[in-house]
Amino acid sequence: PTESVPATDTTSVTGSGPTADSSTILIVYLSRTNNTKAIAEIIQDQVGGRLVALEVENPYPENYRATVEQVARENETGFLPPLRTKIDNMGQYEVVFVGFPTWGMQLPPPMKSFLRQYDLRGKTVIPFNTNGGYGIGSTFQTVKELCPNSTVREGFTMRGGSERDGQLLVIKEDKAAEAKTAVVKWLRTLNLLN
Ligand SMILES: Cc1cc2nc3c(=O)[nH]c(=O)nc-3n(C[C@H](O)[C@H](O)[C@H](O)COP(=O)(O)O)c2cc1C
């Protein structure tokens, strides 16, 4: 352990590795059945950074239908659920990944709360999403609207589960390998990986 290692830049040798200082990267995600969490973990594996699960003060019901109804009401009234998650050192982050499922074709209320509560001006914001097969809906557009003074980069989306049909965690095994390939490709187009 005391021997010195030649200062070889393995990044240039292998042609892969993160391009940003990982201490400046925050990955915040909302996930109920862990599909979005699986993507968040792949991102962290690739670029490093701090991974934070977004939690609300009053958890949503376990029941899917009840959750859909509550979310619909919150979207109608513009209710922003208070967050249990606190980020005390937002100033240190330059790149903030925000991950969420599509809920009712919209950005889930807790992520609206997060983007309202924290000032991400001057930072790079990068959205990622999983959904039940109906796509991102208005989610990425809402991220842009809630971060008017940030640079919002091209997001990543893929199909996750469909709780309505009893499909919970789908991004595992073969699907997780597929997801990893797609995420790496996306991170390269963003120049966050080389
Ligand atoms: C309350 C609720 C609403 C949802 N609404 C949609 C929707 O509008 N469109 C869609 O494609 N999937 C919808 N889904 C399915 C989720 O987007 C999908 O299962 C996603 O992969 C879940 O991510 P998670 O495992 O990280 O929680 C909904 C799921 C829930 C729980």
The answer to whether the CB of 19 is under 6 A from ligand 1 is no
CA 119 to centroid of ligand 1, rounded, Å: 27
Q: Identify the residue whose C-alpha is closest to ligand 1 atom 4.
A: 103
Q: What DSSP character marks residue 191? A: T
Q: Which segment of 12-16, 62-66, 106-110 scores lowest on mean pLDDT?
A: 12-16
162 CB under 6 A from ligand 1? yes
Max distance between CA atoms of the chain, in angstroms, equals 63
Residue 5 pLDDT exceeds 70? no
d(CA 49, CA 93): 9
Of all atoms in ligand 1, which is nearest to the CA of residue 102?
A: 17
**How many whole angstroms separate alpha carbon 173 and alpha carbon 38?**
11
- The rounded distance, in Å, linking the Cα atoms of 54 and 37 is 10
Ligand 1 atom, smallest distance to 33 CA: 25
E-assigned strands of the chain?
25-29, 50-53, 95-101, 124-131, 151-152, 156-159
Atom of ligand 1 nearest to the CA of 36: 26
Gap from CA of 83 to ligand 1 centroid (Å): 20
Question: Which band of pLDDT confidence, cut at 50, 70 and 90, is reported for residue 12?
Answer: very low
Write out the two tokens for 87: 């980020």
| ipTM topping 0.95 | yes
Are 155 and 136 within 8 A, CB to CB? Answer: yes
Of 15, 13, 84, 38, the residue nearest 176 (C-alpha):
38
Q: Is the pTM of this model over 0.90?
A: yes
Res 11: pLDDT:
47
Interatomic CA distance for residues 153 and 193, integer angstroms: 14
Rounded to the nearest 10°, the torsion over CA 50, 28, 157, 80 is 180
Q: Which of 71, 163, 170, 172 is the pocket-test mutation for ligand 1 (most atoms within 8 Å of CB)? A: 163
* Amino acid, res. 132: G
Q: Which two tokens stand for residue 76?
A: 């109608």
With a 6 Å cutoff on the Cβ, whether 36 touches ligand 1 is: yes
Q: C-alpha 78: how far from its chain's center?
A: 22
Cβ of 71 below 6 Å from ligand 1:
yes
Residue-wise pLDDT tens digits, 124-149 = 999 999 999 999 999 999 999 999 99
163 lines ligand 1 (CB under 6 A): yes
Q: Domain spans of the chain? A: 18-187
Report pLDDT digits (tens) over 69-117.
999 999 999 999 999 999 999 999 999 999 999 999 999 999 999 999 9
* Residues in CB range of 162: below 8 A, 6 or more apart: 132, 133
Nearest CA to ligand 1 atom 1: 68
For residues 94 and 81, what is the distance between their CA atoms, to the nearest angstrom? Answer: 25
Annotation: CATH topology of 18-187: Rossmann fold (3.40.50)
